[in-house]
Amino acid sequence: MKKYRFYIPLLINEERKNNNDLLGYNGLFTDNENGFCSLYEFIYTYRKENSTIFPEIKSKETINAIEMIKKMKDEISSGIEIYFH
């Protein structure tokens, strides 16, 4: 974006205020197949190593991934529920 001199105004204004703790996350955890895929993709990132296969559902990696999703939801959620139709 810098190449074309485009800037994201919100980030610039927040940076001027020295607010560097800006967080945003959309996991696309909808109540359809997309939400299920998002969950599996997140679990996949919690593998022990890049070369390992998908963790078992009852594994510590899966538990850690789901706990992190819950932690992110609790810490950065606005409390507003958005429904996709």
pLDDT tens digits along 13-24: 666 777 666 566
- pLDDT tops 80 at residue 7: no
Domain that holds residue 45: 23-85
Q: Is residue 81 part of a domain?
A: yes
> Which is nearest to 39 in space by CA: 66, 60, 70?
66
Residues across the chain: 85
Report the greatest alpha carbon distance in the chain: 48
Q: Is residue 32 part of a domain?
A: yes
Bigger pLDDT: 35 vs 56: 56
DSSP state of 2: G
The model carries a pTM of: 0.60
Bigger pLDDT: 43 vs 72: 43
Q: Is residue 13 part of a domain?
A: no
Bigger pLDDT: 27 vs 74: 74
The count of structural domains within the chain is 1
Q: Does an H or E element contain 70, and which? A: helix 60-76
Question: pLDDT at position 20, please?
Answer: 62
